[in-house]
Amino acid sequence: MNSTFYQNKDTFLVAVDCIIMGFRDNELQILIARRRMEPLKGGWSLMGGFVNATESINEAAKRVVEEYTGIDNIFMEQVGAYGELNRDLADRVISIAYFALVDMDLFDSSLIEKHNTRWVRITQLPELIFDHKKMVDNTINILQRKAAIKPIGFNLLGDQFTLPTLQSLYESIYQERIDKRNFRKKLLTMDILEKMEEKDKSSSKRGAFYYRFNKEKYDQLIEQGLHFSL
Amino acid sequence: MNSTFYQNKDTFLVAVDCIIMGFRDNELQILIARRRMEPLKGGWSLMGGFVNATESINEAAKRVVEEYTGIDNIFMEQVGAYGELNRDLADRVISIAYFALVDMDLFDSSLIEKHNTRWVRITQLPELIFDHKKMVDNTINILQRKAAIKPIGFNLLGDQFTLPTLQSLYESIYQERIDKRNFRKKLLTMDILEKMEEKDKSSSKRGAFYYRFNKEKYDQLIEQGLHFSL
DNA sequence: GCAAAAGTGTTTCAGGTACACCCATGA
DNA sequence: TCATGGGTGTACCTGAAACACTTTTGC
C-alpha cells in the first residue's frame, strides 16, 4: 500500500456493529451481548468488532456475524455509518452498522455463553449502549421498507415454512395485524411459492402445509416487469 | 480523548465524498471536479475531503459541501460507507458518501475555477474515478425512492417555482414523462402549496404562476396521518 | 363433540391512469 | 393571427381493504 499521497491526515478506529435478527415464537428477535469490557461493562450492546487493515468493511461485518452466530453465507446489508464525535465513550470510533437476517435454527447456541449473548424480542429490547438503539431503529425502518418490496423476509425462515408462519413474520415486521385472506391471496397470486406435500403439525391439530420460496419463479416475475409486494 | 481501551487496532483514513445535485434547464445536474492530485490526476471525481479528528462525519460532509458551493444550510443525507480494500488506488481510504440537494441559484460560481469544478447533466455524466459512479448510482436510487414519499425535491428549487418546473424536476428524477393533469391534480389536492400572485414569464408568453412550498400545511398533512406522494 | 388453528371468495372503494381541448400572450 | 406553453375535468380500471364461515383433527 502506497502512503505517500495523503499525508498529515487524521486516522480513525473503524468498527462494524451488526444488528443480527432472527424470527422465533412469532416475533422478530435481536441478538445482543453483555459487554465484557470497559467502558459501560455489563451494558447491552450489538455485536461489534474493529475493522482490520486486511479486510473490506463488508468482510469485517461478515466475519463478526459468523463469529457470533456460527453461520456463514448470511443475508446482510449496510445500514449506514455513525460518526458522532463522542458516540463511543472510550475513544473516537467511526462505526458502520450492518443488519443480518438469519435462520435461527442454524444458530450455534454454544456461542451464547462464549460471547455472553442473548436473543431478545424487538418489542422488549433493553437499553443499549452508545448509539446502538439508533442503529436498531434505522434497521427496523429499512427492514419495513425493504421487506415490502423485496423477498428478503425469507432469509429469516428455514427453507420450508407455513403460510401462517410467514404471515406472522410480516406482522412482526410491520407491527400490525394482516388479514389472512388478503395476505394469502396476494402471496399465492404472485406464484413464487412452491407447495410441499407435508404439513407442519406443531402448532395445530389440522396442520398447515409447508411452502418453499422458489427463486426461479421469483426471477421470472421480475423479468416480466412485475413486482414483489407484501 | 482516552485511548487506553482499544489497543493494537488498525486505524484508517476516512473521507467523505459528496454527490452535490442541482436542477437547471429541466434536468438534474451533478457537480464534479477535475482531480488536481495523483493518483488519476485529471480524472473526474466527486467533491471529497478527509474527515478531521475534530469533527463528526456529518460535519465533515457539510464542510466539504460548503467549501465547494459557497452555500450553507444545505439538505444532506448519508448514502452509505464504501470500504473495499482498493477502492482508492493510492491508499486504504474508507469513504462515506453523502448527497446534497442545492438550489443552483445560490451557487457561488467563483468557486468553479478555484476548485476546477463543473455542473453536468446526470444523463451525461462522464466516467468518474474510483467507485464514485457507484455512489452516484446509489444516490439516484435513494433520490427516486425518497422524492416519491418526502417533499425533498423542493430543496432543488428556489422558494418560488412554477408547476411546470416542478413537474420537469420530477420527470428528471424519475427519468420518465408524467401526465400534466394527473401531476397537478395530485399535488394540488395535497394542499401543501401556496399560490403566488406573480407569474414566471421567462419560459412562455402566457406565464405560469409561482407557488411556494408551505411547510406548515405539509406538517398538518402528516399529522392527519396522510402522506406525501408523487 | 369441541376447541383451535387452517383454509377459502366476494364486494366495495379509493386512487391511479388515460385522455383532448381551451386559454393567455408576445411577437 | 398564430405559435407556444399554461391550465383544466372525466371515465375507466386495477388493486387494496373489509368481511364470515367451513374444514380438519387431536384431545
Domains annotated on chain A, with CATH: 11-147 (3.90.79.10), 152-223 (1.10.10.10)
* Residue contact B10–A50, C-beta within 8 A: yes
Task: Give the pLDDT of residue B4.
Answer: 59
Q: How far apart are CA A27 and CA A19, in angstroms?
A: 15
Task: Give the pLDDT of residue B6.
Answer: 86
Q: Is the pLDDT of residue B42 over 70?
A: yes
Where do we find the cell 475531503?
B49
Nearest Cβ partner for B81 among A5, A11, A96: A96
* Residue contact B50–A90, C-beta within 8 A: no
A51 and B83 Cβ atoms separated by less than 8 Å? yes
For nucleotide D27, the protein residue with its alpha carbon nearest to C1' is: A205
- Helices then strands, counting H and E runs in chain A, come out as 6, 10
* Cβ of B25 near strand D (distance < 7 A): no
- A47: nearest Cα among A26, A27, A67: A67
Nearest Cβ partner for B78 among A10, A13, A80: A80
**Mean pLDDT in residue range B146-151:** 97
**Mean pLDDT in residue range B39-45:** 95
* Cβ of A178 near strand C (distance < 7 A): no
CA–C1' A200–D27 (A): 18
* Cβ of B3 near strand C (distance < 7 A): no
Q: Which residues of chain A have pLDDT under 50?
A: 1-2
* Cβ of B177 near strand C (distance < 7 A): no
A149 and A173 Cβ atoms separated by less than 8 Å? no
Nearest Cβ partner for B58 among A54, A56, A83: A83
Dihedral over Cα of B50, B98, A95, A56: its sign: negative
| A102: exposed, middle or buried (Cβ count in 10 Å: 0-12, 13-18, 19+) | buried
- A120: nearest Cα among A204, A182, A197, A31: A31
- How far is B226 from chain A, CA to nearest CA, in Å? 17
Q: pLDDT by residue (tens digit) across B122-136?
A: 999 999 999 999 999
CA–C1' A182–C12 (A): 14
pLDDT category of residue B38 using cuts at 50, 70 and 90: confident
* Cβ of A182 near strand C (distance < 7 A): yes
Residue A9: list chain B partners with CB under 8 A.
Answer: 13, 50
Q: Which nucleotides of C are covered by protein (CB under 7 A)?
A: 3-10, 16-20, 23-26
Task: Give the pLDDT of residue A7.
Answer: 84
CA–C1' A27–D18 (A): 26
The DSSP string of B149-214 is TSGGGGGGS-S-EEHHHHHHHHHHHHTS---HHHHHHHHHHHT-EEEEEEEE-SS-SS-EEEEEE-
* Cβ of B229 near strand C (distance < 7 A): yes
Task: Give the pLDDT of residue B2.
Answer: 44
Peptide bond into B126 cis (omega under 30): no
* Residue contact A51–B12, C-beta within 8 A: yes
Q: Which of A:73-132 have CB within 8 Å of B?
A: 78, 80-81, 83-85, 90-94, 96
* Residue contact A10–B58, C-beta within 8 A: no
- How far is B79 from chain A, CA to nearest CA, in Å? 8
Task: Give the pLDDT of residue B37.
Answer: 87
* Residue contact A5–B39, C-beta within 8 A: yes
* Residue contact A91–B5, C-beta within 8 A: yes
Per the confidence metrics, is the pTM higher than 0.85? yes
Q: pLDDT by residue (tens digit) across B45-73?
A: 999 999 999 999 999 999 999 999 999 99
Average pLDDT, chain B: 96
* Residue contact B94–A57, C-beta within 8 A: yes
Q: What is the pairing mode between strands B11-24 and B93-101?
A: parallel
Question: HSE on the CB side for B121, CA within 13 Å?
Answer: 9
Residues 6+ apart with CB under 8 A from B103: B22, B71, B155, B156, B157, B158
Task: Give the pLDDT of residue B1.
Answer: 45
